[in-house]
Structure 1
Amino acid sequence: MPQRVIVDVDTGIDDSLALVFLLASPDAEILGIASTAGNVGVDRVAANNLGWLDLCRAPDIEVAVGSTLPLVIPLVTTEDTHGPHGIGYAELPPSARPLSTRSASDMWVDLARKHPGDAVGLVTGPLTNLALALRKEPALPQLLKRLVIMGGAFNYAGNTKPTTEWNISVDPEAAKIVFDAFSAAPADRRPIVCSLDITETIEMKSEHLERLARRAGSVPAETISVDEDATVRSRASNPLIRQLSDAVRFYMEFHRDHDQGFLSHMHDPFAAAVALDPSLVRTKPATVDVELTGTLTRGMTVADLAGMWGREPNVDIASQTDPAAFFDLLIERVGSFAGELYPPNSEDAS
């Protein structure tokens, strides 16, 4: 049976690829998609989610809108990283699909109650929606089969402030609520946290996009060069490959411009893969808390690995993986999916 998944995203370039990966995975059934404010505003996030569902010719999947703001602080978005619409250079037409009539937090609660012990939660954006859902249903840690979070940094430099990862920094109060609440999760259902320590080893490069296009049977051969002008766009015949390539190209340029190399860190697709198959990572149990009052460290995720606080572990931190194996999986699934949706000789592949 496919793994049922509740997805919470702030779409986002790497969130986009995470969604496509799940849609391409025969072992995944997306129960609902919660849109959260983060990379861009929540309405834009929801529009992006609907647009990717259209492009992937997905069945009817509920897309719910979450809070427009974090719990306490003003919203800060990151268009410089993900583009003005959150999806880089990709251009998705407006969707005719309707948005859900229930809020993202209500959707979390309703789906978890409907599928007790069976649904995996995946959060690749700020934890605002899940924190609000926990206020409505404190039993969520017992109702979910598992939770996978992309967020945090442990003994590792942040990507927003010196010690702070982006998703946590957008809404630190929400993150603390979630980590505190999941202290009540059974030991075999502790959340898996995919932090920067591991997700920044998941480096997507030009050759990965080229392999993805080949797998889909797209022509001409996809090439992306660090020397190309910023106005260059993909000429891939496969529409899904073309949009993904243009999205990721923007992300690669951002990393290049910040002296990280011509690559893109695929934080969120990696977390999506872990949600379906936890054996992709080795983990370390830890007690994690979130700093809310530090002058220099607000939003920092602090991990007690040695039991110094005298509190039981509330998460398992992903610590080791095989990036090459992950990219093999991603390319096989998404490339094959794109080729099946838009066969090379079809009218749509143009």
Structure 2
Amino acid sequence: MAAVPLLVDVDTGIDDSLALLYLLAGPEAELVAITCTAGNVPARQVATNNLAWLELCSHPPVEVALGAEVPIVQALMTTEETHGPQGIGYAELPAPTRSISERHAAQVWIEEARRRPGELTGLVTGPLTNLALAVTLEPDLPHLLRRVVLMGGAFNHPGNTAPTTEWNIAVDPEAAKIVFDRFAVAVNRPIVCGLDVTERIALTPEHLRRLAEAAGSTPVELLRPDDGDDDRSRASNVVIKQVSDAVRFYLQFHRDSGRGFIAHMHDPFAAAVALDPTIAVLRPATVDVELAGTLTRGQTVADWDGLWGRQPNAEVVVDADPAAFLDAFIERVGALARRVG
């Protein structure tokens, strides 16, 4: 399969980190650039995390560009309680030696799309601020990109930030509305990976054990719900050690919030869809974002049946095979970790 040229926009983030590793693991992804927005942690920490993961994996240089450090309208909210003070849980990545790009993220989106019209797939696993800024500056962006894949929203499913609201949309609802409105003219409608499916894709300690085994890392550890907060991985493989320490924090967050000793794989699944949309079942819908509701601000509302009299502007993921995706994740990232050592 020919490599998919990708512009990846992230707010790294533990699950963004796992998505990045998934993309770095094989030749199917051509990383044109990584753009950074504030969300899980502040944008400059996001950029540092991305550079550090690239170096840890001995990946050739990729442009990492800083983008929006605040949402379009509302004050920034971050979620260190979910992802740790640096966004990577308990992991302690070596400080990167590579530098942040001199280009702004919106500039990267526009200039790269113009340079390769009709070729690039945009993958956004954080708030939509950078993409909203880019499409405001360049209204032809929906025609210049091949497609965009978004992780965000909740449709027939509860929210994870407010009762009806998903985190990435909640951080910058105005940006999300701009994107859904402006990309209504795109030939290939945006693919939206919402909580309806991503919360069915749960990484467990057994998956981590299999990942370490696939990487040839020793000892093969099994994280447990009663492990202490100061427990750390002793894995011989540097990638597995950092992944284990990052995901341990994420597992504990889900445990403490009553969701079980699991880790939802929101962003890695969206990365997989960006490489191969056929792994997901899609349903067209007209998606809009609530901005005025006192209880529902940031809610993504899908009109499945044309009741608004507007054409569909999104392909919403409504089903997938979680076990098959997790098997693929273990195979890909395990092979990457084995190569790195």
With normalisation by structure 1, the TM-score equals: 0.96
Aligned residue runs from structure 1 range 1-350, under 5 A: 1-186=2-187, 189-342=188-341
For the residues of structure 2 that align with 1:229 and 1:296, how far apart are their CA atoms?
Answer: 37
Which consecutive segments of 4 or more residues in structure 1 shift more than 6 A?
Answer: none
Q: Distance in 2 between matches of 1:22 and 1:115?
A: 20
Deviation at 1:83, TM superposition (A): 0.3
CA RMSD, 1 decimal:
0.6
State the alpha-carbon separation in 2 of the partners of residues 155 and 215 from structure 1: 36
**Matched letter for residue 202 of structure 1:** I
1:54-110 Cα deviation digits (max 9, x unpaired): 101111100000111000011000000000000000001211101111100000111
Q: CA deviation at 1:114?
A: 1.1
CA shift, 1:142, in A, is 0.9
Alignment-mate amino acid for residue 3 of structure 2: P
Q: Give the SS at the match of 2:7.
A: strand
The one-letter amino acid paired with 1:125 is G
Question: Structure 1 CA distance, aligned partners of 2:301 and 2:273?
Answer: 22
Question: Separation in 1 of the partners of 2:32 and 2:56?
Answer: 19
Rounded to whole Å, the distance in 1 between the matches of 2:146 and 2:72 is 26
Letter in 2 for 1:230: D
1:203-234 CA-to-partner distances (Å, cap 9, x unmatched) read: 00001000000000000112111121111111
Helix, strand or coil: the match of 1:213?
Answer: helix
CA distance in 1, matches of 2:309, 2:318: 22
- Secondary structure at the aligned position of 1:107 is classed as helix
SS at match of 1:214: helix
Task: Report the 3-state secondary structure (helix = DSSP H, G, I; strand = E; otherwise coil) of the residue aligned with 2:247.
Answer: helix
Q: Secondary structure at the match of 1:109?
A: helix
Gaps of 5+ in 1: 343-350
Q: For each residue in 1:125-178, what CA deviation from the matched residue of structure 2 results, as whole angstroms up to 9, or x when unmatched? A: 000000000011111111111110000000211000010000000000000000
Mapped partners of 1:136, 1:244: distance in 2: 37
Q: Secondary structure at the match of 1:85?
A: coil
For 1:337 and 1:96, how far apart are their aligned partners in 2? 21
Letter of the structure 1 residue corresponding to residue 310 of structure 2: R
- State how many pairs are aligned: 340
Letter in 1 for 2:129: T
Q: How far apart, in 1, do the equivalents of 2:227 and 2:170 lie?
A: 33
- Say which SS state the counterpart of residue 110 (structure 2) adopts: helix
Which residue number corresponds to residue 346 of structure 1? none
For residues 221 and 134 of structure 2, the distance between their equivalents in structure 1, rounded to whole angstroms, comes to: 43
- Unpaired runs of at least 5, structure 2: none
Percent of pairs with identical residues: 61
CA distance in 2, matches of 1:68, 1:228: 35
Letter in structure 2 aligned against 1:298: R
Cα offset for 1:200? 0.1
Distance 1:217 1:163 in 2: 42
Q: Describe the SS at the equivalent of 2:15.
A: helix
Using the alignment, how far apart are the partners of 2:156 and 2:336 within structure 1?
38
Per-residue deviation at 1:48? 0.4
TM-score (norm 2): 0.99
Which 10-residue stretch deviates more, 222-231 or 205-214? 222-231
Aligned mates of 2:166, 2:222 — CA distance in 1: 31
